[in-house]
Structure 1
Amino acid sequence: MDKLANMETFVRVVEIGSISGAADRMNIAKSAVSRRLKELETHLNVQLFHRTTRTMHTTDTGAEYYKHCLRILEDLREAEEATSQAHCVLKGPLKLAVPSTFGVLHIGDAINDFLQEHPQIEFELDFNDRKVDLIQEGYDMAIRIAELPDSTLLARKIASIRHVLCASPAYLAEHGEPENLDDLINHQALVYSLSKDVSHWRIETPSGKQQKVKINPVLKASSGEFLLSAVEKGMGIAHLPTFVVHKGLKEGRLKTILPGNAFGELNAYAIYPQTRHLSRRVRTLIDFLAARFDGKPYWDQ
């Protein structure tokens, strides 16, 4: 019996939640996964899973054994990496999920520069605003712009993300400029459709008061780049991150609206599962991104 192979298979089944899913991820037959689990339970003389026709859940014993397996496997991988990579170049695959607009406008250039330093890294990049399941879909890490809830994920801040209200000079010349927050309901709002609430903008007034402002959304889209194009063409007022609109503001194609208010500040995080060994490749990339965007982001300077 190959104890390490069986332990790795057990860990993968726990993380993915099924034998078939683990078999697909490991690129082995389902029968091989089942055999390894059976060997492990026979060797330990315990039941590691509660099995039904559709699901598998660890027993209390299995959950405790899973924690021990993680520590053992991670210690082994750390030892192997410390030994084999101490004097070697960084190489191997990295599967990364990044937000579509932020990824194309800013993370893409960072990845290209990272590859200049580490040309043997094999990136697989998913530019998408959907919330991926890192473990189920086999991602090493992801970049997310959000208020992160408590979860099984670990996170490191990469950059601050500030939002503004803006419109084109042509739109403001035709429709007038809002004088206060209540005026916004009388204007055409261009809205990011994946927001939790597409009927309101959350705003912090100069006094520090949080306010939910009713808006009139005339255009909703899931693409920040499309919304940027629409607002520059005079279609309405948009609530967008400064990493999207900074060039338009600097070059005069856009103007900020009601600048005395704060229109939302989030953070961009590098996230990764706490149940997965953090490879030297991932650690190096996270350090690189954190250093690149450290302090006040260049798009806000």
Structure 2
Amino acid sequence: MDKLTSMLVFTKVAKAGSFASAAKELGLSRAMATKHVMQLENGLGIRLLNRTTRNLSLTEVGMVYLERCLQILDEMEEMEIAVTRLQTEPRGTLKVNATPFFGAYHLAPAIAAYMEAFPDVNVELVLQAGYIDLIEEGFDLAIHLDEMRDSSLIARKLGSSQRVVCGSPGYFKKHGIPKTPDDLRKHNCLTNSSLPPRDQWQFSIPGGETTVIKVTGNMEANVADALRMAAINGLGLILLPTYMVGQDIRKGRLSPVLTDYVPAPLEIHAVYPHRKHLSAKVRTFVDFLSERFHPKPYWEDWADATE
């Protein structure tokens, strides 16, 4: 028998002064209620109740045990209420992983707005590039900007980001503007060494087909933001998502080219471990991001400024 249930039965019997009344309150038979109390007494090796044909009373040790049982059962009820609130009300610490640029420039402002709406949630934001094991490293969720590798995770699409070729106005004044993807072979293209194949840029061409252009350049970096800054300073052309360069285009620091040959967009997902009962903090945070980034995220507003 479950010991906690037996303790509950004992407290009801002690309060009611009757096995029959306690059994009725709990929806048990009188025999089952008696069995629960006898199990406690046998396990402890003591008598908790004095029984006569007319009377039922607590022994001295039974009074002490009753007090402790009531304390334990109260604590159990409080714990269940607290756990239920964690599941139904957003509260506690939310541990989130994201890539450095997206996390700093787009996720951090979103977190500030989310925490204003849900002040009982604390957020631990860890910014790092590359694949991580969410479960092993204790993350509630991650913002994923690449193809999914782990099919055991749940992925919810939050939005997307176009990829665009761009360079500084000064660069184009010196070297001319490419009109087709093939023209990139004659330009200084800055490449990301962390995204193989780094020297192959893919484009869509009329008819729905794709073409891959092998590019060359005098700089590569393993962090895309370094390439962005080099391009702003006139070194060459970059192929980066608009969540990174959209504001630079709006402010005239970079100019987009080859917009008729848009590469496949980068999809943005919230990913989290498969859980039957998703916590309120994760559920509300993912909903919040979806509303903020979908259907057209604000980083795509650069296109309106260039029309």
Deviations 1:136-158, CA, capped at 9 Å, x for gaps: 11111000011224611110011
CA contact (8 A) 1:81 1:280 kept: no
Give matches, 1:264-283, under 5 Å: 264-275=264-275, 277-283=277-283
**Alpha-carbon distance change, 225 to 245 in structure 1, aligned in 2, over 3 angstroms:** same
3-state SS, counterpart of residue 196 of structure 1 = coil
1:84 corresponding residue in structure 2: 85
**Alpha-carbon distance change, 81 to 143 in structure 1, aligned in 2, over 3 angstroms:** farther
What is the rounded CA distance, in whole Å, between the counterparts of 1:190 and 1:81 in structure 2? 53
What is the rounded CA distance, in whole Å, between the counterparts of 2:275 and 2:84 in structure 1? 23
2:134 corresponding residue in structure 1: 134
The reply to whether residue 300 of structure 1 matches residue 300 of structure 2 is yes
Q: Give 1:204 shift.
A: 1.0
2:290 corresponding residue in structure 1: 290
What is the rounded CA distance, in whole Å, between the counterparts of 1:140 and 1:267 in structure 2? 20
3-state SS, counterpart of residue 162 of structure 2 = strand
Q: Give 1:134 shift.
A: 0.5
Which residue identity lines up with residue 245 of structure 2 in the other structure? V
What is the rounded CA distance, in whole Å, between the counterparts of 2:163 and 2:284 in structure 1? 29
Q: Give 1:185 shift.
A: 1.7
**What percent of counterpart residues are identical?**
36
**Alpha-carbon distance change, 263 to 152 in structure 1, aligned in 2, over 3 angstroms:** same
CA contact (8 A) 1:141 1:271 kept: yes
The reply to whether residue 106 of structure 1 matches residue 88 of structure 2 is no
Deviations 1:8-63, CA, capped at 9 Å, x for gaps: xxxxxxxxxxxxxxxxxxxxxxxxxxxxxxxxxxxxxxxxxxxxxxxxxxxxxxxx
> Comparing 120-129 with 218-227, which one deviates more in the overlay?
218-227
What is the rounded CA distance, in whole Å, between the counterparts of 2:285 and 2:102 in structure 1? 17
1:116 corresponding residue in structure 2: 116
CA contact (8 A) 1:164 1:239 kept: yes
What is the rounded CA distance, in whole Å, between the counterparts of 1:143 and 1:80 in structure 2? 31
Which residue identity lines up with residue 133 of structure 1 in the other structure? D
CA contact (8 A) 2:86 2:279 kept: no
Q: Give 1:81 shift.
A: 7.2
CA contact (8 A) 1:157 1:269 kept: yes
Give matches, 1:1-301, under 5 Å: 83-84=84-85, 90-149=90-149, 151-275=151-275, 277-301=277-301
Alignment RMSD (CA, Å): 2.4
Which runs of no fewer than 5 residues in structure 2 stay unpaired? 4-79, 302-307
Q: Give 1:90 shift.
A: 2.6
3-state SS, counterpart of residue 131 of structure 2 = coil
**Alpha-carbon distance change, 279 to 180 in structure 1, aligned in 2, over 3 angstroms:** same
What is the rounded CA distance, in whole Å, between the counterparts of 1:273 and 1:80 in structure 2? 24
What is the rounded CA distance, in whole Å, between the counterparts of 2:108 and 2:246 in structure 1? 17
What is the rounded CA distance, in whole Å, between the counterparts of 1:158 and 1:275 in structure 2? 19
In the alignment of these two chains, the number of paired residues is: 225
Deviations 1:92-137, CA, capped at 9 Å, x for gaps: 1111101111111111100011111122212111111111110111
Q: Give 1:196 shift.
A: 2.5
Normalising by the residue count of structure 1, what TM-score does the alignment of the two structures yield? 0.69
Normalising by the residue count of structure 2, what TM-score does the alignment of the two structures yield? 0.68
What is the rounded CA distance, in whole Å, between the counterparts of 1:169 and 1:146 in structure 2? 30
Deviations 1:274-297, CA, capped at 9 Å, x for gaps: 157521110110011001112111
Larger of the two Rg values belongs to structure: 2
Q: Give 1:89 shift.
A: 5.5
- Structure with more strand by fraction: 1
**Alpha-carbon distance change, 153 to 217 in structure 1, aligned in 2, over 3 angstroms:** farther
Q: Give 1:217 shift.
A: 3.5
